[in-house]
Amino acid sequence: MMNVSDLVQSSGWKNFMAKLYGMGASVVIIGALFKINHWPGGSFIITLGLVTEAIIFFFSAFEPLHEELDWTLVYPELAGMSDPDEVENFKENVYEPGHRPIENIEDVLGQAGVDDEVMKKIGEGFTQLSESAAGLAKISGATAATESFVANLQTAASSVGSLHETYNSSTESIKESVTTLSGAYFETADNIRKSGGEIADTYKQIADTIKQGQSSIATGSQEYESQLSQLSKNLSALNDVYQSQIKETAEQMQGSKALYGGLHDMISNLKTSVEETSKYAEEVTKLKDSISSLNSHYGHMLNAIGAKAKK
């Protein structure tokens, strides 16, 4: 059974990781593009890209460490290059003077006609190549934005065409409207001129009427003043009459109050008299009964006396 270390070192795993790096990076870049341009669904896609990147990092943790090869086995002259003393000892013990590898390289280059100027040009070429590579990286990053820009330009071009057609139709409509408006303007100006003459005549008539009215108003004002004076006198006389009437009314109210008091006393006396009359009637009834009883007794006595006298 294959363990984890054998699996991560197999060619299938390496192919899987290569595809995972490429596809995952494309998802991350697309998510970043959607988020930067604020397109719909940008938050979801950038989340998907970051989750994909996290998965890539998870699987990359199982990759074996990079093995550092010992190049000194192939190039013994590289041994001990990190220590200057060892480099000097290496030069003295291994190579004879005049037979160092660098000198041999210079000889080979000299035989090939490669001098310092050619090497300088080669260095400049590498520098330009590095700058071009950096530019390519920037271009690859701007490709998506360029495609979006081109699409926007195409949309803008179609919009400009529609705008041109709209402008042409609007120009024709404006020309027709200007012609109609011009005719209406001249017709309105003629009507205003005629109306202005009529208004001037009307104003003149109004002015004459106002002048006539002013004289009438002056005469009416004098009559109005005399009427006001007469009205003031009448109001004064009416006020005097009203004051005297108020005074008489007050006196009548006092008399009415005294009369009401007398009537109240008279009613009280009448009420008392009625009560006494009732008592008197009762006593008269009793007296009548007593007289009737007495007459009866007297009648019996007279009858008895008469009977004895006959005997």
CA distance 161 to 167: 10
Domain edges within the chain:
1-66, 75-114
Amino acid type, 250: A
The rounded distance, in Å, linking the Cα atoms of 75 and 90 is: 13
Higher-pLDDT residue of 130 and 246 is 246
Q: What is the pLDDT of residues 197-239, one digit of tens each?
A: 776 676 577 667 767 766 666 676 677 688 888 888 888 888 8
In contact, 48 and 27? CB cutoff 8 Å: yes
Give the span between the Cα atoms of 21 and 15, in whole angstroms.
Answer: 10
Question: What average pLDDT is seen over the chain?
Answer: 72
Q: Considering only CA atoms, which of 23, 18, 20, 26 is closest in space to residue 140?
A: 26
Q: 293: number of CA atoms within 13 Å, CB side?
A: 6
Query: What is the rounded CA–CA span in Å between residue 29 and residue 143?
Result: 12
86-141 pLDDT tens trace: 545 555 555 444 444 455 555 655 665 656 776 677 777 767 766 765 665 554 55
pTM of the model: 0.26
